[in-house]
Every structure is written in C-alpha cells, then in structure tokens.
Amino acid sequence: MSRLHAFHGGIHPPEHKAESNGARIVQVPLPPQLVVALNQHIGHGAKPVVAAGDRVAKGQMIGRAEGRVSAAVHAPTSGRVLAVEPRVVAHPSGLAELCVVIEPDGEERWIERQRFDWRNADGPAVLDHLRDLGVVGLGGAVFPSHLKLAGARTLDTLVINGAECEPYITCDDRLMRERADEIGAGIAIVRQLMNARQVKVGIEDNKPEAIEAMRLACGGQDIEVVVVPTLYPSGGAKQLTRLLTGREVPAGVRATDLGVQCFNVGTVQALYRALEHGEPLLSRIVTLTGAVARPGNVEALLGTPLSHLMAFAGVAADVTGHVYGGPMMGFVLPSLEAGLTKSGNCIIARNAELFPPAPPEMPCIRCGTCAEACPAELQPMDLYWFARARQFGRAQERHLFDCIECGACAYVCPSNIRLVDYFRYAKSEIWAAEKSRDAATLARRRHEARQARQERDKRERAERLAARTTPRPAPPPLPEQVTPQEAPAAPAAPTDDDKQARIAAAMARAAARRAGQAGKGEGGDGA
C-alpha cells in the first residue's frame, strides 16, 4: 500500500453528491440544433472547414486544429450546417465566439472510420492522430491530450485522477462505476505511450462503488488504486500528485520534469475510444443537479444547448440561475442558449435554498484563515490587498499565478470577501499588460526593421549613382596597335580660299574645252 502525503490546507464543504450519483447514466435525446463552439480547449480555437449548407456526417471534422496548442472539433451527429457564425458560448463573459450550428437529420450516419494501428505507429503519428480526433482533458482544464503525452519519453509515475472532489459533481463517479473496463484499457494505452514505470489511481473514500469497480478492472495490470481522504481540492493535479507521490510541482516547472503526469479518468476513456475505435470526442458525461426534478448524469452530444439539458432534467420554478461546473470553481451562466462544451462536467440549477444570497463584503481583518485553507500555501490576504491597490507587480512577486482559483480561501473568509474574483482580476490585468507590451515590442521591432531597410535602400541608391557618374578608364592598347604618336598625321582640312581656287580652275578648264570643240567644227565645214 502506498503511503499518502498530505498537502497544505483544504476544506470540507457539503458534498451534495447523493442527489445525482444514485442513477445510471442516460442518453439525452437529440436537440433540434447543435451549437458547436470551435474553441473548446486551452490554446487556439479550431479553424472551420465547413460552410453553411454543407451536409456533415457524424464524426466528420468541422474544425481543424490551428497551431501547436489546439485540437480539432467534429460534428456530433449527421445533419446540415445551418451557419458558421458567432454565438453565445458557455463563458462568464457572455461574449459570442465562432460556432458551427448543425441541424440533426436523426440518421446518426457515421463517417467511414478506419482503425489506427497506434501500436506500430511512431510517436508523432499517434499524437497527430489524437489531435485530429479532438481528445482533450475532461477534468476541467481541457488541455490538449497529445501535448501532455508528448511531455516525456519515460515517466516514473502515471497518476490517474478519479478524486472528483468538488461538491455536486458525480460524472466521474458514475463513469468509473459503469465503464471501468474502458478506463482500464485507456490507462494501459497511456502507460505504454509514456513508458510509465508505475500507475496510481487516486479516488476519494466517498466513492466506494467506483473504487471497487476500478480495482476489478485494473486487476492483473500492476495498477494501484489508492483511496485518498475526502478533502477539497484533492482532485487538483498538483494536490493529487502530492498526495500519491509526495512530490511538489513548483511554479514554472512541468510535472513531467519531475517524472510525473496526471490524467483524468474521463480523458483516458476518451483516449481509448479514439485509438481503439477511431471515435473523435463527440460527447461527454454531464451531472445535472441542484433544483431539478430529475437529478442525475447524462451522456450528451457536444453542442447540445444547455436549455435542452435542463429541460430534460426538469428545472424547478424557483430557479434563480445556473452554474456551469461546480460551486467552487464554476461560474454563473449568462445564458442557457450556449452549447455544451468539452469542459462542461456539471450544470447546477440554483435557488435561494441551495445558494442563499451572498452576504455583503466586510473589511479584511487579516485573521489568516484564508492562508490556513490555501492548498498552494499562498497568503491570499496579501494578494487581495495588492490586487485591490493595483500593485500587480507585487502580487506577482507573491506568486499570484500559483493560485489554482479553487475558492477555498473565499469559502472560509469570515468577511465574505470574494477573493478569487480579485485574483482573477489581477491575472487578467497582468495578461493584458503583457499582451500590450508584446504588441509594442513587435511594433518597435517592425519600425526598426523598416528604418534599417530604408537606410539600406538609400545607401544602395547612392552607390549606384556614384558608379554611373565616375568616368571609366581608357582600355589599354593592344600590342600590335599603333600609338597615336606613331600614326601619320592626317591631311589638313581644305580652307575656303582653296575651294574657290579649285572651282575657278575647273570652270576655266571646262570653258577651254568648249572653245576647242567649237574651232574644230568651223574648219571642217569649209573643206
């Protein structure tokens, strides 16, 4: 048995898992439309490869990966593309992003799937295949999986995350209970691709059925299923890595540099379906809970309007809003018209009983309770003051970007300060400043390059002009060529007097000839 290594902080909020984890996963009926966002992962959004009016088959690529940190997007079902246009997406900003709107035809007509021989393919080909099938992390971060697999050639410990520590969310619990065999097969694939020496599956002790199912599925594979205590946020990648291996992942250091990598159970199951069955990531398990008539877990196609999902669950009349994700790290949805994305593991219908109005903020009393709860061992009260005073540089010096935004500090704050909101604000301001600085640096470099180009062109023009105005030296004489000094002098040109004399002499000669001819004629007549 592995020895557990506790991490700093953590909290025990009410679980609210029993409401949704008792029933099996069910399929959601096809909606009238699917709104498939082209940016469903960290990095660059996919580039659309279809247009309005196109017919698409299930599994057909509709968005090609754009850049290194990206993944493809596919049609969740067969049908007709109605539009490729900005639509509201599941994001706290409520802004629109480019989406492909598909009208299902109900035929569920698949593209021709060809099995990929990943066992005999080289590493880059396998990674490209996963990128083109749109496999990303399903634990919340939605990081493209092919990049995580490319992080190390040899791994000491592969960590599989089945903790699912956040309240209300039970999609991974039900997935482990019902599809443990596929998860086990996916773990074996990842282990082979990363050449991992050992595998540890971490599951919280409030999921006994999932623990038993995973132990049965992983039996005989040298995979250790480790039971960890129920403590939020034990499902964070760094926290679970600390729990299972005792290794701390410092800021700016990749886990693979320490010989560890972490994958969610849903991710490895999707990876198995991609490599063994040629299936792109087209759907995911979603927990529908809160103030609904039928809480539970459903398998829904990506792009399914959230309003369609909540109507399927039966929303109560007193609902005041909806949370996308869990109550700790999720956000309030601006609209239910958005389509389901790969990060959508839970939708909670809020009412006043489950989510009473937040009390007003009070001044910080520097009690230190937030620091005691912080799993990243930060000083949230200092970060709060720096963020509020817009001293973002000092916030960075206090490791602002080590904050995982778990919300544990805000949960325990006796002054009801929304600490995470301040941290997100500070991060966004720093990112905006860095983006502006990068743009200014790029503009300066372009200006300097333009000036250098203009100076070069000016210098080259001056050199060409100087070359044209400089007289060319006379060519040397040939050996047999006579020099000007040795050549005979040319006859002098005749003057005007000489010409007149010559003309007069010629006229005199002509007159003499005429006179002589006349004398001869007269003598002949008298003979």
CATH at residue 396: 1.10.1060.10
What does the pLDDT average to over 190-204? Answer: 94
Question: In the chain, pLDDT over 90 holds for what percent of residues?
Answer: 73
Instruction: Provide the pLDDT for residue 511.
Output: 76
* Claim to verify: residue 320 and residue 375 sit in the same structural domain: no
- In which residue are the tokens 């009260």 written? 381
What does the pLDDT average to over 144-170? Answer: 90
* Claim to verify: residue 298 and residue 225 sit in the same structural domain: yes
Instruction: Provide the pLDDT for residue 104.
Output: 97
Does some domain include residue 74? yes
Instruction: Provide the pLDDT for residue 316.
Output: 87
Does some domain include residue 17? no
Confidence of residue 471 (pLDDT cuts 50, 70, 90): confident
* Claim to verify: residue 150 and residue 263 sit in the same structural domain: yes
3-state DSSP assignment of residue 257:
helix
* Distance from C-alpha of 380 to C-alpha of 403, rounded to nearest angstrom: 9
Task: For 252-276, write each residue's pLDDT tens digit.
Answer: 788 888 899 999 999 999 999 999 9
> Under a CB-based contact definition with an 8 Å cutoff, are residues 286 and 297 in contact?
yes
Continuous segment of H or E residues that includes residue 175: helix 171-178
CATH at residue 143: 3.40.50.11540
> Under a CB-based contact definition with an 8 Å cutoff, are residues 151 and 127 in contact?
no
Instruction: Provide the pLDDT for residue 526.
Output: 44
Q: Lowest-confidence range among 147-161, 354-368, 502-516?
A: 502-516
* Claim to verify: residue 262 and residue 327 sit in the same structural domain: yes
* Helix 419-469 with 380-388: angle, nearest 10 deg: 60
Task: For 74-133, write each residue's pLDDT tens digit.
Answer: 999 999 999 999 999 998 888 899 999 999 999 999 998 888 899 988 889 999 999 999
Of the residues 295, 328, 347, which one is the last residue of a structural domain?
Answer: 347
Does some domain include residue 14? no
* Distance from C-alpha of 267 to C-alpha of 444, rounded to nearest angstrom: 43
Does some domain include residue 497? no
Does some domain include residue 13? no
> Under a CB-based contact definition with an 8 Å cutoff, are residues 400 and 32 in contact?
no
Task: For 230-252, write each residue's pLDDT tens digit.
Answer: 999 999 999 999 999 999 888 77
Instruction: Provide the pLDDT for residue 525.
Output: 45
Query: Structural domain of residue 100, as residue ranges?
Result: 26-347
* Distance from C-alpha of 251 to C-alpha of 376, rounded to nearest angstrom: 10
What does the pLDDT average to over 183-194? Answer: 94
What does the pLDDT average to over 318-347? Answer: 94
Instruction: Provide the pLDDT for residue 308.
Output: 97
Continuous segment of H or E residues that includes residue 331: strand 331-332
* Distance from C-alpha of 127 to C-alpha of 274, rounded to nearest angstrom: 11
Confidence of residue 150 (pLDDT cuts 50, 70, 90): confident
Amino acid in the structure at residue 454: Q
| Mean pLDDT score across all residues of the chain | 90
pLDDT at position 488 over 60? no
Task: For 37-61, write each residue's pLDDT tens digit.
Answer: 999 888 888 999 999 999 999 999 9
Confidence of residue 480 (pLDDT cuts 50, 70, 90): low
Instruction: Provide the pLDDT for residue 156.
Output: 93
| 8-state DSSP, 358 | P
* Claim to verify: residue 126 and residue 34 sit in the same structural domain: yes
Continuous segment of H or E residues that includes residue 384: helix 380-388
Confidence of residue 494 (pLDDT cuts 50, 70, 90): low
- In which residue are the tokens 């080259």 written? 460
Spatial CB neighbours of 246, under 8 Å, sequence gap ≥ 6: 3, 5
Pairing of strands 223-228, 196-204: parallel
* Distance from C-alpha of 501 to C-alpha of 468, rounded to nearest angstrom: 51
Confidence of residue 486 (pLDDT cuts 50, 70, 90): low
* Claim to verify: residue 257 and residue 166 sit in the same structural domain: yes
> Under a CB-based contact definition with an 8 Å cutoff, are residues 439 and 392 in contact?
no
Instruction: Provide the pLDDT for residue 493.
Output: 54
Instruction: Provide the pLDDT for residue 413.
Output: 97
Closest CA to 325 of 290, 369, 368: 290
pLDDT at position 527 over 50? no
Instruction: Provide the pLDDT for residue 62.
Output: 97
Count the domains in the chain. Answer: 2
Does some domain include residue 507? no
Closest CA to 407 of 421, 397, 390, 395: 421
Phi, psi of 237 (to 5 degrees): -60, -45
Confidence of residue 68 (pLDDT cuts 50, 70, 90): confident
3-state DSSP assignment of residue 278:
coil
Confidence of residue 519 (pLDDT cuts 50, 70, 90): low
* Claim to verify: residue 243 and residue 287 sit in the same structural domain: yes
* Claim to verify: residue 280 and residue 418 sit in the same structural domain: no
Kindly list the distances between the CA atom of residue 378 and the CA atoms of 95, 369, 407, in Å, as whole numbers in the listed order. 32, 12, 13
* Claim to verify: residue 308 and residue 329 sit in the same structural domain: yes
Task: At 275, list the tokens.
Answer: 């490599």
> Under a CB-based contact definition with an 8 Å cutoff, are residues 68 and 143 in contact?
no
Of the residues 392, 418, 451, which one is the last residue of a structural domain?
Answer: 451
* Distance from C-alpha of 202 to C-alpha of 235, rounded to nearest angstrom: 9
